Chain A
Amino acid sequence: MTRQEILDELKKVLTPYTADKEALAKVDENTDLIKDLKINSANLVDIIIDAESKYNIEIDYDSADRMTNVGSCIDVISEKMGQGQV
């Protein structure tokens, strides 16, 4: 999967956790999950679990800690999918 393909899928993962659909429509790699998408921190683990099941990967907590913006989420997902940097 390309980074763009992962981003498109990631948007679907994030959708249930943000009420700010306008910000979601405009996401790019620099979008911060909490500051820009107004996602409550209590949902961060949900997003990681949803990403794990969507991509059939396991995200250890060290990697999970890095998933604060869209770009770093894509980094972690692509690494765990065994593709390294796309």
Chain B
Amino acid sequence: MISIGNDIVDLSAIDKHRTQQKAFYSKILSDKEQQLYSRSSHLPFEIYVWLLWSAKESVYKFAKRLNPELVFSPVRIEVSEPEFIELKNFQNDPLDGTHLELSDLKFGEFLNSENSGSDNISEYNYQINYQSDTYYLRSLISNTFIASIASDSPDSSKIHWGIKYIDQPDYQSQSTSVREFTLKIINEIFPGEVTFSIDKSPVGYPIILKGQVETTIKASFAHHVNYVAYALGI
């Protein structure tokens, strides 16, 4: 894989009223996407706006790794599919680490708050065309978060995706938690090998090191208030 991008939105932190104002959503959705909403109207409008935000942010992160000068321009990253098809709906048991059974993803890991109760999660797959490339998006919408990943292939078999609730929402805790969470899964995928560590590129994306050497694993991190998430292309 040449790159990967992801994003997460903690729904407890979004301002529903503000999101529904045109001054707000018109800076995220294109005109076409605003019209498209009527055909995807099973989602509350504010959820639709943040779903597309997370998708666009994921595509931007994917493309930024390849083009460090790229500026995030959410309205120009446009969903091309006529509607969102819900693939799967499942209940998550939050009490211990759950492996999400996504449609064809290699691995999904989800650790929710112990007191959050079971969460109803829906999975969506769709596409975005941006700067003459096609991106394949996957999003999960639960009662508490929206998470997305962007890839350049419909084949997700090499993608690992993890989402975790954290108690402390400060920046340092988010940063530390997402790194620990990621290293844990990398050590599970490559058991008993040399120590892995995580560095940061000058542009800002994470680099996975094996010993002192940069690996070909592509990683993207996201955090928002009480949720952190990783996406790995192995």
Same complex for A and B? Answer yes
A residues lining the B interface (CB < 8 Å): 19-20, 35, 38, 40-42, 44-46, 48-49, 52, 61-62, 64-66, 68
The one of A19, A38, A45, A65 in contact with B24, judged by C-beta atoms closer than 8 angstroms, is A45
**In the bound complex, do residue B53 and residue A42 qualify as a contact, i.e. CB atoms below 8 Å apart?**
yes
How near does chain A come to B94, taking the closest CB pair, in angstroms? 23
Q: What B residues does A35 contact at CB under 8 A?
A: 204
**In the bound complex, do residue B171 and residue A20 qualify as a contact, i.e. CB atoms below 8 Å apart?**
yes
**In the bound complex, do residue A45 and residue B28 qualify as a contact, i.e. CB atoms below 8 Å apart?**
yes
Distance in angstroms between the alpha carbons of A81 and B36 in the assembled complex: 34
Q: What A residues does B14 contact at CB under 8 A?
A: 42
Distance in angstroms between the alpha carbons of A8 and B127 in the assembled complex: 42
Q: What A residues does B27 contact at CB under 8 A?
A: 45, 48-49, 61, 64
Q: Mark B41-55, 1 if CB is under 8 A from A, else 0.
A: 000000000000100
- Of residues 1 to 44 in B, which have CB atoms within 8 Å of A's CB atoms? 9, 13-15, 18, 21, 23-24, 26-28
**In the bound complex, do residue A46 and residue B15 qualify as a contact, i.e. CB atoms below 8 Å apart?**
yes
A–B complex contacts, Cβ < 8 Å, 8 sampled: A35-B204, A41-B72, A42-B14, A42-B224, A44-B72, A46-B18, A52-B23, A61-B27
Closest 3 pairs between A and B when the two form their complex, measured CB to CB: A65-B73, A38-B171, A61-B75
Assess whether B170 is interfacial by the CB under 8 Å rule: yes
Assess whether B57 is interfacial by the CB under 8 Å rule: yes
Q: What B residues does A49 contact at CB under 8 A?
A: 18, 21, 23-24, 27
Assess whether B71 is interfacial by the CB under 8 Å rule: yes
How near does chain B come to A32, taking the closest CB pair, in angstroms? 10
Q: Residue on B with the closest CB to A41?
A: B57
Q: Residue on A with the closest CB to B30?
A: A61
How near does chain B come to A14, taking the closest CB pair, in angstroms? 15
**In the bound complex, do residue B9 and residue A42 qualify as a contact, i.e. CB atoms below 8 Å apart?**
yes
Distance in angstroms between the alpha carbons of A20 and B174 in the assembled complex: 14
Distance in angstroms between the alpha carbons of A65 and B27 in the assembled complex: 9
**In the bound complex, do residue B73 and residue A40 qualify as a contact, i.e. CB atoms below 8 Å apart?**
no
Q: Mark B68-80, 1 if CB is under 8 A from A, else 0.
A: 0001111100000
**In the bound complex, do residue B75 and residue A19 qualify as a contact, i.e. CB atoms below 8 Å apart?**
no
Q: Residue on B with the closest CB to A64?
A: B27
